[in-house]
Structure 1
Amino acid sequence: MSTDEQTPFDRYRTRIDRPLVRLFADYGTSRTRWLVIGLVANLLAQTASLLPPVVLGTAIDALFREETSEYSLLFLPRAWIPPGEVAQFWLSVALIAGSFVATALFTWIYGVSANFFAHGVMHSVRSDSFEKMLRLDAAFFDDKQTGEVMSILSNDSQNLELFLDNALMNGVRLIVMVLGIAAILFALNWQLALVTLVAIPLIGGFTVWFMRVIEPRYEARQSAMADFNTRIENGITGVILAKVTGSEDYEVDRVRDASHGVFETTMDVLKLSYFYRPGMELLAGFSFAATFLVGGYWILFDAPGPLTGDLSVGVFVTFVFMTQRFVAPLAEVSNIVDEVQNAKVSAARVFGLADIPVRITDREDAKRLGDPEGRVTYEDVCFSYPELLTDDHGPAVPDDETETDGGFAALDGDEGDDDSVIEHVSFEAEPGETVAFVGSTGAGKSTLCRLLLRLYDVDEGRVAVDGTDIRDLELASLRQHVGYVSQDAFLFDGTIGENIRYGRFDESDEAVREAAEAAEAHEFIQRLPDGYDTRVGERGVKLSGGQRQRIAIARVVLQDPEILILDEATSDVDTDTEQRIQASLDALTADRTTFVVAHRLSTVIGADTILVLEDGEVVERGDHDTLRQQGGRYAELWGAQTGSE
């Protein structure tokens, strides 16, 4: 992937060093006790599971053969072994049964503990990732990273969960089994043990090669999955547009292409995985076959080749059982490697998100905006969207200035194709005044409003509230006192009442109803089947555009801010409803500092000041009558909309 094609995630992901180590350092240390309990229980469970073959081999040699040998176990003091074959038989039964009970008990303990650890870590990872997403600068979402974020919160989190839940404990189990079996086999017969373990170096080298080759393929698959998620999310969001333009086949082809990318990258992984897995099983199978061949020959004839000494039937049986136990965990190495590699890529993506800097933050000495008068000043403000996400700049914004969901979608394409969006804009709005921004699409109207909300920081000049630069104010307190109604009002999936209360969650039902009445929304809400308890659907799809806007206005009425931004707030309502809403808005704005972005100039006739913007510059300013009399750009726009000269 070229630099120009990289997403913000890619740029920061590639800088993550040892992502799994960081995962444990950042999220595992607070849950160390669960991990330790799980590891110890796993160790005891696997150790106990190795006991039956050893006891069985001893019992065969000491109890069930004509030429019996002394009953002795590697791990049991001689003083604990009772005299007599019958007592030794029952001891063998007790040890085998007890080992199964211990294995089951400690397996349950390590399973519960491991899941407490794994799911606790993933709870924190998911929560922190979502919190980081919400705190990222608004400019980040201009780069259309919704699918990437969704992939992190779903696919990558699931991969990490599988690693912590399965691969980690299975890896420990594998180590315990290999070391434990090797120790027992060497204690019983070191020569045959060498035959059994001869494949271990080959298995290790094969695994190192596989891990080195498979990692970039996993990265490509995760990237393809993120692209697919983005395409699906865009397709679902734009389903109505696809229908009304007859573009369903086009969208299907785009999703099909993205899905084929997932298919191809997945097959790249699987083809290598299915070469590795049978190879591991083959090498482990060779260990078993070699043990059976050499041990069987030793029992039937004599010590083969350079081997010396005797091999009892019981020891041979133990070797056969142990080698079979040895084969299974070695064959599982492929699954463990798969999960580890998946987790490395996913952890890098998680921390790639975590490391993206947030630049719109509170300064250390930030002041709280208590009870503002509402005086807003723009002083020689210049602003342009940065072109590339680097250590020194924010992310690029697309040419249409369209933001993702959250109430700032499809504003008005203010920045156009030029680097500079706002150029040397200065004006002042006194408390209670209304300032309107008018001009053609792409002139910079909505961008000026977004600068007041401090969704972006100015490049030059300053924006001030009551004489204080907004960069010196606490963000939360600034936005608490600035209400915003956008052209494309966003509603969460929930009830109408919940959406009106959003941001003022403790307000009473009466306050919600009064806000709805002020926004001319109460009447249509009452006609709905469940009134204020009616669910609006995802993004408010069950309501019309005008109904969504009136609910958004009601939300701001309930907020009761000192500063109000109305960005085409009545663009989706009919003329009659607009007149009624406008009357309510006039009452709402009477004692507030208000900024109005409008294409319908009839809605800004009463504004104290109208700023006419072209290419980010203020080309005219004044009230309605003054601007009409000047015969300039505003007069042209007014004439075009009203048909008058």
Structure 2
Amino acid sequence: MDIHAAEEDDPFEEARERADNPMRRLFTEYGRENDRAFAVGVFGSVVARMLDLLPPVLLGLAVDAILRNDKAFGLPLVPDGLLPTTQTGQLVLTVGLIAAAFFGGAAFHWLRNWGWNGFAQHIQHAIRTDTYDKMQRLNMDFFADKQTGEMMSILSNDVNRLENFLNDGMNSMFRLSIMVLGIAGILVWINWQLAVVALVPVPLIAFFTLKFIRTIQPKYADVRASVGKVNSRLENNLGGIQVIKSANTEGYESDRVADASRDYFDANWDAIGTRIKFFPGLRVIAGVGFVLTFAIGGYWVLVFEQTGAAPWLFTEPLYTGEFVTFILLTQRFIWPMAQFGQIINMYQRARASAERIFGLMDTPARIAENPDAEPLSLDGGDVAYEHVSFSYDDEPILDDVSFTVDGGETFALVGPTGAGKSTVLKLLLRMYDVDDGEIRVDGQDLRDVTIQSLRQAVGYVSQETFLFYGSVAENIAYGTFDATREEIVEAAKLAEADEFITNLPDGYDTEVGERGVKLSGGQRQRIAIARAILKDPEILVLDEATSDVDTETEMLIQRSLDRLSEDRTTFAIAHRLSTVKDADQIVVLDDGRIVERGTHEDLLAEDGLYANLWAVQAGEIDELPQEFIERATQRRAQTDADDD
């Protein structure tokens, strides 16, 4: 597979292209909130590095002035009158200053690390929480083509990579910048002519670094895309491990994981190949500069000591101590120049991650709340759909759907798979917005009320019950966090759940496991119903709430639902028509349009689609019309094609 295939298939590619100057935004939007820690880090870096440079300078002065007595003892910025006059005193002062530089450097190194770590950790925390908050507020169509592993890759890997750059990368950048500038200044102060020789590698290092940046940037984008694919594959397989085992497809799934991992391997190895060529090349350039400085400087010292004059075109004297300082500092100067490549490498990785993070943050919400929206005011709970049409990705889903539900009525939606039933109710919750038409609750257009008040007024019980990791009581109280234990137990009793809950090892405090795996499907369903009872919503939405349970459990759940729907406006979707035959009004959808409506008896008398669906569930297959069977075959084929 081409290493760029991962990028081409990256579900966040459009978001990445949307991100404008992501690294600048990182510092302007988040760095300013942590400028105190940043200032501490910078201050600690400056002082610590200046103290690190002091011992070599003092050593050179001691060699020339104390040990060799080639020149007078003196310290920069210190008046000569304050300096000792004896060699012993000068040696003691020099040793004391070197020791103080080491101890002071250690203290400021700690301060530097405290500042940079605080800066990075606070930004990491803020970005992760902001990214998650943005992600969970996006519309459902955003999640339709994204896998959990891909989104986790942004919240975890990409955010951590930013933290790594802000801590290690920024720390190193300031540390090395201060060293390079400080050493360059000292070298020029000691002997500007030899400093020119030492700085020869700098333009070459800058040239190769720029070339490296332009080459590595797209490669890291491929790496970030492919690692999201690996995470998605692993998350998907671990979530479906029971299906994999029951289908005996471990080998097949291992191959698929291996393919995803190979794509990541190829992309990452391509980036590594570029990187491992770049850094040794920089070291060679740096090494040549050091050797050149040592050779010329060493010859210079020899000639000067023998003749008292500088060789070749040089005019400045070069003493032994100065040369020692020069060599020590040149080594410290050249290697940091080479290490700038590591910082640039970290920067490019961070930039690729920042593109994904800020691209996601800039993803426009399809549903925008009206700035003048008012809280929903409920009176009777009447709901009206007026000529509602809706499309998803330019594919029509609903076409001119209209109906009215009076407060307290039970309204059922039935129809073949893919008819648009769930979409009708998702529009009521404003998971999506209508393309045309209006949806009104007690006369209020949903687009004119706050989303929070709307969803607070609607209780939703779905076929696929999701329980959060935690206790049974916490899951029942989810969304009604101020509920007392007595209220939680009462809701469980009304949901026919109290008996099985009290028989659990720790009762209401029993941990349900991830996604509620420790409970059966029927138990999870009744906990979800208890959650809705505790919420006490004015409008209830039941989305095939009993379709995946056995007959006995269905009877218990149906009793719970009957209690829950009393005196509430209730919407129910059902494949098992027996669960909605007593509804006040039944609407039949087919291909996004209402084709029949009425009571159970009315629809049976019409002998249309509803009657045929009822005959299927009654086992009267031989009496079905051929046209209905052909339509069912076509629908099944279309559903399979959409799944593929």
Q: Considering the TM-score relative to the shorter chain, is it more than 0.5?
A: yes
Which of residues 423, 427, 436 in structure 2 aligns to 1:460? Answer: 436
Task: Indicate the SS of the match to 2:12.
Answer: helix
**Alignment of 1:614 onto 2:616:** no
| Alignment match, 2:465 | 489
Cα distance, 1:145 vs structure 2: 4.0
8 A Cα contact 2:10 2:225, kept in partner: no
Aligned to 1:14, what secondary structure does the other structure show?
A: helix
Q: Name 2:291's counterpart in structure 1.
A: 289
- CA 1:211–1:77: 2 relative to 1, 3 Å: farther
Deviation at 1:133, TM superposition (A): 0.7
Deviation at 1:7, TM superposition (A): 5.0
TM-score, scaled to structure 1: 0.92
What is the alpha-carbon distance in structure 1 between the residues aligned to residue 535 and residue 283 of structure 2? 66
1:28 to 24, 27, 31: 31
Q: Is the 8 A contact 1:281 1:330 kept in 2?
A: no
Instruction: Find the aligned partners of 1:576 and 1:488 in 2 and give their Cα distance.
Output: 19
Paired residues of 1:54 and 1:73 also in contact (CA < 8 A): no
1:370-381 matches, within 5 Å, as 370-381=377-388
Whether the 8 Å contact between 2:471 and 2:508 is mirrored in structure 1 is yes
Letter paired with 2:135: M
The 3-state SS of whatever aligns with 2:290 is: helix
Q: Measure, in 2, the Cα distance between the counterparts of 1:229 and 1:78.
A: 67
2:298 corresponds to which letter in structure 1? G
In the TM superposition, residue 330 of structure 1 has moved relative to its aligned partner by: 2.2
Check if 1:236 corresponds to 2:238: yes
Deviates more, 1:178-187 or 1:364-373: 364-373
- Give the match's secondary structure for 1:462: strand
Aligned residue in 2 for 1:161? 163
Q: How does 1:150-549 map to 2 (within 5 A)?
A: 150-302=152-304, 303-387=310-394, 419-549=395-525
Distance 1:7 1:266, change over 3 A: closer
8 A contact 1:118–1:164 mirrored in 2: yes
Deviations 1:379-422 (A, max 9, x none): 111111025xxxxxxxxxxxxxxxxxxxxxxxxxxxxxxx2111
**What is the CA–CA distance in structure 2 between the aligned matches of 1:333 and 1:28, rounded to whole Å?**
22
Q: Any conservation in 2 of the 1:361–1:475 contact (CA below 8 Å)?
A: no
Gaps of 5+ in 2: 305-309, 624-644
One-letter code of the match for 1:331?
A: A
Matches of 1:145 and 1:21, distance apart in 2: 29
The aligned amino acid for 1:636 is N
Q: 1:242-283 deviations in whole A, cap 9, x for unaligned?
A: 222222222211111111111111111111111111111111
Specify which of 619, 624, 631 is matched with residue 643 of structure 1.
619
Deviations 1:163-214 (A, max 9, x none): 1101112111111111111111111111111111111111111111111111
One-letter identity of the residue aligned with 1:312: Y
In structure 2, how many angstroms separate the alpha carbons of the residues matched to 1:213 and 1:80? 56
Q: Which residue matches 2:626?
A: none
- C-alpha distance 432-29 of structure 1, shift in aligned 2 (>3 A): same
* Aligned match of 2:530: 554
AA aligned to 2:368 is T
Shift of 1:68: 3.3
- Amino acid corresponding to residue 14 of structure 2 in structure 1: R
The residue that corresponds to 1:392 in the other structure is none
Q: Distance in 1 between matches of 2:404 and 2:515?
A: 36
1:39–1:172 CA contact under 8 A, matched in 2 = yes
The Cα of 1:2 is off from its aligned counterpart by: 8.8
Pair 1:108-2:84 in alignment: no
1:51 paired residue number: 54
SS of the aligned residue for 2:18 comes to coil
User: Aligned to 1:112, what secondary structure does the other structure show?
Assistant: helix
What letter is aligned with 2:186? I
Could you tell me how far apart the structure 2 residues matched to 1:569 and 1:27 are? 44
The corresponding residue for 1:16 is 19
Q: Tell me, what secondary structure is at the counterpart of 2:385? A: strand
Confirm or deny: 8 A CA contact 2:385 2:402 kept in the other structure: yes
Cα gap change, 1:318 to 1:225, in 2 (>3 Å): same
Shift of 1:6: 5.3
Aligned residue identity for 1:293:
A
Distance in 1, matches of 2:19 and 2:552, equals 58
Task: Map 1:35-74 onto structure 2 (within 5 A).
Answer: 35-65=38-68, 67-74=69-76
**In structure 1, what is the Cα distance between the partners aligned to 2:10 and 2:175?**
39
Q: Secondary structure at the match of 1:337?
A: helix
Q: What are the Cα deviations for residues 527-584 of structure 1, in whole angstroms up to 9, with x where unaligned?
A: 1111111111111111111111111111111111111011111122221222232122
Query: For 2:7 and 2:151, how far apart are their aligned partners in 1?
Result: 20
**Residues 582-612 of structure 1: per-residue CA shift (max 9 Å, x gap):** 1222122120010110011110111000111
Q: How many aligned positions are there? A: 613
Q: Is contact 1:294-1:304 (8 Å) kept?
A: no
In structure 1, C-alpha distance between the alignment counterparts of 2:190 and 2:78, rounded to whole Å: 14
CA displacement at 1:77 relative to structure 2: 3.2
Q: Is the 8 A contact 1:385 1:421 kept in 2?
A: yes
| SS of the residue 1:441 aligns to | coil
| C-alpha distance in structure 2 between counterparts of 1:348 and 1:77, whole Å | 55
Take 2:457 and 2:377, find their aligned partners in 1: how far apart are those partners?
9
Tell me, in whole angstroms, the C-alpha distance in 2 between the residues paired with 1:239 and 1:456: 32
Paired-residue identity, %: 51
Deviation at 1:8, TM superposition (A): 5.3
Contact 2:7 2:226 in 1 (8 A): no
Contact 1:129 1:153 in 2 (8 A): yes
What does 1:553-632 align with in structure 2 at a 5 Å threshold? 553-632=529-608
Deviation at 1:17, TM superposition (A): 2.8
Other structure's SS at 1:564 match: strand
The amino acid that maps onto 1:242 is I
- Residue 311 of structure 1: how far off its partner (Å): 1.6
d(CA) in 2 for partners of 1:166 and 1:522?
Answer: 54
Question: Residues 436 and 607 of structure 1 are in contact (CA less than 8 Å); yes or no, is this contact kept in structure 2?
Answer: yes
Q: What SS does the corresponding residue of 2:467 show, helix, strand or coil? A: coil
Looking at secondary structure, tell me which structure has more helix per residue.
2
Tell me if the contact between 1:446 and 1:567 (Cα under 8 Å) persists in the aligned partners.
yes
Cα distance in 1, alignment partners of residues 10 and 274 from structure 2: 27
> What's the CA shift for 1:521?
1.2
Distance 1:309 1:580 in 2: 99
Contact persistence 2:411–2:572 (CA under 8 A): yes
- Please give the root-mean-square deviation of Cα atoms over the aligned residues, in Å: 1.7
**d(CA) in 2 for partners of 1:643, 1:208:** 74
Cα distance between partner residues in 2 of 1:76 and 1:51 = 14
5+ residue gaps, structure 1, are: 388-418
Would the aligned equivalents of 2:370 and 2:447 in 1 still touch at CA under 8 Å? Answer: yes
TM-score, structure 2 as length reference: 0.93
CA distance in 1, matches of 2:301, 2:609: 105
